[in-house]
Amino acid sequence: MFAIDAILMSEISAKYALVTVPLALNGYTYRIPAGMPAGAGSLVRVSLGKTRYYNGVITSVSDQAPQGGFAIKDIAELLVPGLVSPQQLELWRWVSFYYHCSMGEVLKAALPSCLLANTYHGLADTWYDLGQGDGARLSAPAQAVLGELSALHPQRRSDLLLHAGVSSLQTLLKHGYITELSLQRSRFEKRPPSQGHIRLTEAQETACAEIRQGFTQPKPVLLHGVASSGKTEIYMQLVSECVAQGKKALVLVPEIALTTQLAQRFEALFGDSFIAYHSKLSEEERSEIYQDLACGSRFKVVLGVRSALFLPWKDLGLLVVDEEQESSYK
């Protein structure tokens, strides 16, 4: 009697998750095991069929079990809590409805594959810093390394190897004169801006003022002009103002070729805070951009094709759709 009551109570208190996997399906319902902190947007591993497992994203959670009386499997593993934001899930549902495609197909388009597979790892370099040391006598090369570290620390392993061999570093580590650090590094090089500000003509200044006025209304603003009329400088100025307000900006272009043409101009103005996002990047590079926008602080301006809409935007202050008449946006 008590065992039956316990089973009934566990069923009543159970939570159920609709999990979307990267197949042409909308999803299947799974039970969230007791104590698993999985919610909407979490990346999980589930069993599909008798032997196959897939990584998928929880798109909704409910207290109600689905009708039909069939057996419901448990989620096998919670991989990454909160990988996808509620705003992203809302966009996924809209894309699925508008383009008559499954949520699984949207998932495949929206997430970099190594994030979905949970195989993404950041790059790390080995660095050394000064330690206390145990008083042991050191060779001349080892003393040279300590001298370099005393002048500037920490330093990258590859830089210290210019002054001494691997054996000297191992000796310093063994006797506690130096400590080893593993520091994350970006796949994208640091790039200081080379252009101070944008110089606008009187006509461009007038256009900017009218656009700012248009932003006070809850509707898009259309900037119309013939080719080479100076539209790019106008929205670069508006992007600069957006970043100065502590927000982020996305500039969409219809083709990768246009991304390449504009990237140099944006990089000159925004330097390290700018990044281009498109399909020619590796999955690891796309994943790093995704992770930075989700929880980092480096990238403030993104220039990309339509797939950039699926990035985890926070504090998005401006969206520019360049050449919005192009059919490749659809």
- List the domain boundaries for the chain: 2-111, 123-185, 202-329
> pTM for the complete prediction?
0.81
- Tokens 């039956």 sit at which residue? 4
Nearest Cα residue to 253 out of 221, 269, 285, 231: 231
- Give the C-alpha distances (Å, rounded to integers) separating 253 from 225, 257, 296: 16, 9, 24
Helix (H, G, I), strand (E, B) or coil at 293: helix
CB 24 within 8 A of CB 37: no
The two three-digit tokens of residue 58, written as one number:
């929880």
- Give the C-alpha distances (Å, rounded to integers) separating 136 from 133, 139, 264: 8, 10, 53
Domain 2-111 has CATH 3.90.1150.10: no
| CATH class of the domain at 202-329 | alpha beta
Task: With a cut of 50, list the residues of the chain below it in pLDDT.
Answer: 1-10
Distance CA 259, CA 329 (A): 14
- Tokens 């191992």 sit at which residue? 170
pLDDT at residue number 4: 43
pLDDT at residue number 6: 41
The two three-digit tokens of residue 323, written as one number:
């050449």
Exposed/middle/buried for residue 144 (C-beta within 10 Å: 0-12, 13-18, 19+): middle
Domain 123-185 has CATH 1.10.10: yes
Helix (H, G, I), strand (E, B) or coil at 110: helix
